[in-house]
Structure 1
Amino acid sequence: MRNLPVRPPSLRSVAAFEAAARHASFTRAAEELNLTPGAISHAIKALEDRLDQQLFIREGRSVALTPAGQTLAARVRLSLGLLSDAFDIAPWRTLDRLVVSTTASIAQKILLPELRTLRDACGDTSLDFRTSNGLANFDDGVDVAIRFGPGGWRGVQSRLLSQEELFPVASPEYLRGAFPKDEAGLRNHVLIHHPESSWRLWFIAGTEPETSSLHIDDSATVLEAAVAGHGIALARAQLARNDLSSGRLVRIFERSVLAEYGYWAVWNGSSPKRAVIEAFVDAVAWLFDAQNPDLRINSNE
């Protein structure tokens, strides 16, 4: 194989190759790039001559990448992605905006009630909240994520914001106040479950009764179901705080247990917005500490 020329191929040839590889068709590549199939074929032939490699197997009107073509296609797509990023104006236009990914329940119950505090911490940077139950994608514009989870995520910076405790709650109007007197009495009630706050954590080992249950995958909706009188929920203290103080919910047993998960802030440590991210995270950590000092974590954790 002869040495590659120093001068790079034309971007038109590269674009023709990438489109033909993606569509497995010279004709469809030509339609996308507003060229003729002959021009696509000519551009790819020039690349093959340059590399001294066959890039496509041509069988009538259909084409398929050779192993060398597959290798080149992967490299070309990566390079075009980097080139696209270089010309994307979004990165420097959005330096004045902090994109925060969190769950709807955390946003509704913890962050939005204290929005002024969070905005003050960020100065002139505007806040952009995006709610999702999935993992945050820092390659898709997210700057910082606030999640309830186990921690230990790789490749990112993280900070434990708060631990969490669980205890049973119900509407004060639930069955006209006929709450169970002890754990055994729960067998006559509907228990509202969330996958991350299981009732098995609260019951003493071996005492969990067989009972009717309602399963909901959103923590805020779990609380709303309890407010509506549909059963007894195992509440997360941080989320139920305002509902308890307003009287929409009441705590029916004093005993509580620590949740398996905690609240975490997660972000890309190499972000150009690192200073405002850290200021925002400090403010969120302060919210947790101020509202529930009993769950305050050691600053060295």
Structure 2
Amino acid sequence: MTELVRHLTLDTLTLTPLTPTIGAEVGGIDLSQPATPSQVRAIRQALLDWKVLFFRDQDIDTDQHLAFARNFGELEVHPFAPQKPGYPEVLAITHNRENRGRENTWHSDVTWRLEPSLGSILRAIELPPVGGDTLFADMYAAYEGLCDEVKARVDDAVAIHDFAHFRTGMRKRGMTEEQIEDFNARYPMVEHPVIRTHPETGRRCIYVNAAFTQHIVGWDADESAAMLKHLYAQAAIPEYQCRFRWEPGSIAFWDNRASQHYAASDYWPAVRRMERVTIVGDRPR
């Protein structure tokens, strides 16, 4: 890999790619200070280019986390996940001896929404002594790696997405069927294209995931299951991935429209505490 590829400069920022197509560490910015318009433009372009950006040694609080995220759009409130007290836009994600990590499935966030997120910004609060890395997959590359026959079959297909595993959790917590029906009415199952066109880059990418996709509309159940299994497996190909080792002060910002991620849950019974802020997106096309 040439020096040019290993260390790039964009505006006042430095970018150090982790792999040839996905993941870059960003230097030359202090996120405790308000980002300038030129920095925001540079970060947005870098996000489009690299799908996930990593910031090291950032000593920021919750308000600064929110302020940085608001540079990129409106923030969403997750209806099911635990929130940080006093901050409805902040997901408080804690795993420990009593609560094992469960985000260890390749997925794109909140695809059960009619307008899934543009992206998320995740901040490390407390980390295990070892383990707890997050992996990211380039879903452009995953699509481009499909054979022409598979592309022809899925290019115009649509699939149903649902918050099924959250519903299961509601029942385990004793929520009544009437309460669950209220959530069903507010967040009905939605249809999204199996292959999405990114609204900013115009590139095509796989947009089904094992966490939320239920089936391909109009397909035989067995054919749908077989195709989805094949598409899900593309995210697990190492050539399409990068892996991030968290440290105190680390932050990750990923494009939810062009990537999937997997939080390795290999650190139990140690504690891993993170806070996530999510930016509202658009309806997939």
TM range, smaller chain: under 0.3
* Higher normalized helix content (fraction of residues): 1
TM-score (norm 2): 0.23
Larger Rg: 1
* Larger relative contact order (Cα-Cα within 8 Å, sequence gap ≥ 6): 2
| TM-score (structure 1 length as normaliser) | 0.22
